[in-house]
Structure 1
Amino acid sequence: MTEARTSRTWFLTGASRGLGAHWAEAILACGDRLAAAARDTTALAPLSERYGDRFLPLRLDVRDATGVREAVRNAEATLGGIDVLVNNAGHMLVGAVEEADEEQARAQMDVNYFGALWATRAVLPGMRERRAGRILQVSSYGGLVAMPALGIYQASKWALEAMSESLAAEVAAYGIHVTLIEPLMFSTGLATESPQVKQDPAYDHARGALYAGAEAAGFTPGDTAATSDALLALVDTPEPPMRVLFGTGGLEPLRTEYAARLAGLEQWDHISRLAQGKPTTS
């Protein structure tokens, strides 16, 4: 006789479009409870009609730390303790480092890094008390490598990567698992719906290199809806990975990139040794 599945409570940011919209539908369809956060909850109305009190739409700007804490408290009071947090809210600023103005650069970090940080901190007390929980951080293939014309965006993801890896070591003792999801290429409208820089012709070559690099790598768009199956399978895994790619074609470029990093460090080890200086003697 198959053991009955225990339903879970999820908190998902960026739930109204792209990957988040597919994930919200899948989470509810499998019988779980969902608090779905978005800046505009209009698109979530059909889910409220279909799933009733298992669904809680929350109007939220993740840049507002106080608002995030209040939203998590609301979700916990309404649906119960949060078992799974998915930090999916984000946007992608395409442009060279010099092209991005101060407001755009800060907004990129506020949404992609600090928004995830505020939500993570808000769910941790409850997860620690229950000694269980899953935190899924939606990073990017650009959280593992850096490409021209995406420096500000990728900086926000690299920050998320470092914070999450440290967090995983800090909370493992409480039965909390942290996983970084690294999507490759999916047709979500992320780039077209995100704020964009005022382009400077001086960096046309950088944009060209970005698109040429993606073409050379042979990346092809994956099935956005299929990521829902991957997400649910990941949460059902007893011992989930620290990082997982969503989509194929990324492993070989990563092998090349990381091998080149190590080779470069080894090539310049004489400078490292020069910086170390001579051993001191007592």
Structure 2
Amino acid sequence: MRKLIQFLYAFRAGLVFLVLELVAVMLLVRNDSYHSSLYFNSSNRMVGNLYNGKQSFYSYMDLDRVNDSLVMENAKLRAALSVDKELPELDSATREILDPLDTVTQTSRYQFRPAHVINNNVRGSKNYLTLDKGETAGVSKGMGVVSPSGVVGRVLTVSDNYSVVASMLHSRLLVSAKLLPSGIACTVNWDGVSPEFTKVLYVARHYEVKPGDSVVASGFNGLFPEGTPIGVVGEVGRGDDASFHDIKLRLSNDFRRLDYVYVVEDLAKNELDSLMEEFRD
């Protein structure tokens, strides 16, 4: 303590000078608009650089998980390519038996555009993602968004270089789906409780549903390719409505760790929409 006092006493003039300089700078920033704006712009730039550095660090630390997901996805793509090469040699009847989802048709119907998730929210009742791709990259309102693990959400609005997506953790997003292996049509809608689970709606009680059953996209509206994973049934109970099961679904995606996704374009959408217009008139 005595040495600290001796040090402060020895350098008292310099310390007083530094304190007065700090006070002068604070008064200048507070009372002069030009210096104030210069200070805050500089501080915002510094904070932005810190955020960028933090994000780069987190991305680097997460490389193992990203690489694992890419390896798994490449394996799936190789399997799909091998199926595509074999199926054209079969007659149509045999192809329908071996491939009820018509893999060849699906791979030519949809186009996938990679995008990076730059903002993500999982704590509200209506959660959104922001992607770094917009109209200039071919993204438009209404397109589906998927990841290597399954369904992510639907594009709500786009700008030139960015797009906002309503994720599966959005209470107003309804996804057309079906249960496997039975193929029963159903709807998936988040109940706003947990980012890990959602609800499966409108499955009548007389259908058998068991924990471990898969739920996938139905493909009915062209938003997501048929068979895209959504989740796995966790619990089956009796809900307030006596007509339907109360089904709790564990989502295939971990929405707190989304990084890279794919925006899905249905190349047959315009043709199908024009066909349906005949029935609306």
Same fold (TM over 0.5): no
Which is richer in helix? 1
Which is richer in strand? 2
TM-score band by shorter chain is under 0.3
Return the TM-score normalized by structure 1: 0.23
Return the TM-score normalized by structure 2: 0.23
**Structure of greater Rg:** 2
Query: Which gives a bigger RCO, structure 1 or 2 (Cα 8 Å, sep 6+)?
Result: 1
